[in-house]
Structure 1
Amino acid sequence: MRPALSAKAISVCDEKIAKKGEGVGLSFYAFFANRNDDPDLLMEAAEWWIKTHALNHFEKATKVREMIKSGQ
């Protein structure tokens, strides 16, 4: 995952956790606006989420954040 996407994903996870608590879940779509303005970046996130790590559609934000921070 490219550094800009990693930083954005961690920021989104942090925001969700701050607003809704440690148990909040999210999907990779949370990292993007409601429009598909960067399909390559969206596909990169989808591949990391689905193909590389076989994550469920919704995962705990804390889990995703830690995976990204650890370089997985």
Structure 2
Amino acid sequence: MQQVLKDKIIEVCNKKIAAKGENVGVSFYAFFKNKNDNPELLMEAATWWIKTHKLNHFEKAVKIKNLVENL
């Protein structure tokens, strides 16, 4: 996973956790704007989320953050 994607995932998870608590959920779409301005990075995130880890559409932000930090 590219460092830019790792950094973005951790940043978004930290913000969501700070705003809504440890039980907040996220999907991989949370790490991108509402437009597809970087399809390669979006596909990298989707592949990691869906194919590699077989995660549900929404997962706990804490879980995602831990997975990324331990890459």
What's the TM-score once normalised by structure 1's chain length? 0.98
SS of corresponding position for 1:56:
coil
Alignment partner, residue 53 of structure 1: 53
Report the Cα distance in structure 1 between the residues aligned to 2:44 and 2:70, rounded to whole angstroms: 18
Where does structure 2 lack aligned partners over 5 or more consecutive residues? none
Report the Cα distance in structure 1 between the residues aligned to 2:52 and 2:2, rounded to whole angstroms: 14
Alignment partner, residue 18 of structure 1: 18
What's the TM-score once normalised by structure 2's chain length? 0.99
Q: CA RMSD in A?
A: 0.3
Q: How high is the sequence identity, in percent, across the aligned residues?
A: 62
Q: What amino acid maps onto 2:60 in structure 1?
A: K
Summarize deviations over 1:4-44 as a string: whole Å, max 9, x none.
10000000000000000000001000000000000000000
Q: What amino acid maps onto 1:51 in structure 2?
A: K
Alignment partner, residue 34 of structure 1: 34
Number of matched pairs: 71
Q: What amino acid maps onto 1:20 in structure 2?
A: K
Report the Cα distance in structure 1 between the residues aligned to 2:61 and 2:24, rounded to whole angstroms: 6
Alignment partner, residue 2 of structure 1: 2
Report the Cα distance in structure 2 between the residues aligned to 1:37 and 1:2, rounded to whole angstroms: 16
